[in-house]
Amino acid sequence: MDEYETNAQETNATEQWEPDELMNPRPKWPKVIGVISIIIASFGLVCGGVGLAIAPFAGTMVEGMLDGDPMPDGLKMHTLDYAIGGARLIFAAILLIAGITCVMHHPITRMLHLFYALCMIPLNIGNYLNGIAKMESLQVWAQQYPNNDYAKSLDPANNPMAGGQGIMMLLLLILFGIGIPAFYLIWFGLIKTKPEQIIGDEEGIY
C-alpha cells in the first residue's frame, strides 16, 4: 500500500512539471544559426589564413610568366592588403565564437553577431573596392606591355573569363559580403532582440 502511494505521488509530481516542459521547450533556432556561423567562420579562417600565408610568394609564382617585364602593381601585396586580410581573420574568429555561444544558447551571441555584421559590411565593401583598383592597375599594365603573354590573358578578347571578373566580384559582395551580415543584423537586431528568445523561459517567447 505504501509502495502504491509512493508511485502515485511520483506520478503526480511528474504530471506537474511535464506539461510546462513540453509547452515551453528550449528554442531550436540558436543551434541552426550557430552551426551556420561556425561553418562560415571556419571557411573564412582557413581560406584567409592560407591566403595570407602564400601572399608574399604570389609575386614570385607569377614572375616566370612575365617574360622579363616588370611585376604589375596589381599583383603586389601592399600594407592595405595585409590590413584587410588580417582584419577579416580577426572577425572570422569573432564569428566562430559567436556561433559557438549561439549553439550554447548564451545571450552574448546576439551582441557578437551584431558587432561582426556592423564591422564586416564596410570591411567587405573596402575589400571589393581594393580588388577593383587592383584590376584597373592590371589593365593599365597590360596596355603598357601589350605583347606580354600575361597581358594578353587579361584581354577579354583573348580570355572571356577576364571580362567577367568584376561582375563575379560584385555578385560575391552582394550575396555573401553584404547578404550574410545583413541577415545577422535583421535576425539579431530586429527579430531576436530579447535574451529569453535565445535561452528560453516560462513564457515561451521564441
Are the C-beta atoms of 148 and 140 separated by less than 8 Å?
Answer: no
* pLDDT per residue as tens digits for the range 101-150: 999 999 999 999 999 999 999 999 999 999 999 999 999 998 898 888 88
When pLDDT is averaged across residues 68-79 and rounded to a whole number, the result is: 87
* pLDDT per residue as tens digits for the range 3-53: 545 555 555 544 444 444 445 578 999 999 999 999 999 999 999 999 999
**In whole angstroms, what is the distance from residue 91 CA to residue 112 CA?**
10
Residue 185, CB half-sphere, CA atoms under 13 Å: how many?
Answer: 11
pLDDT at 184: 98
Amino acid at 92: A
Alpha carbon separation from 21 to 160, 196, 206 (Å, rounded): 60, 15, 15
Residue 203's pLDDT band (cuts 50, 70, 90): low
Q: Is the pTM of this model over 0.85?
A: no
Residue 60's pLDDT band (cuts 50, 70, 90): confident
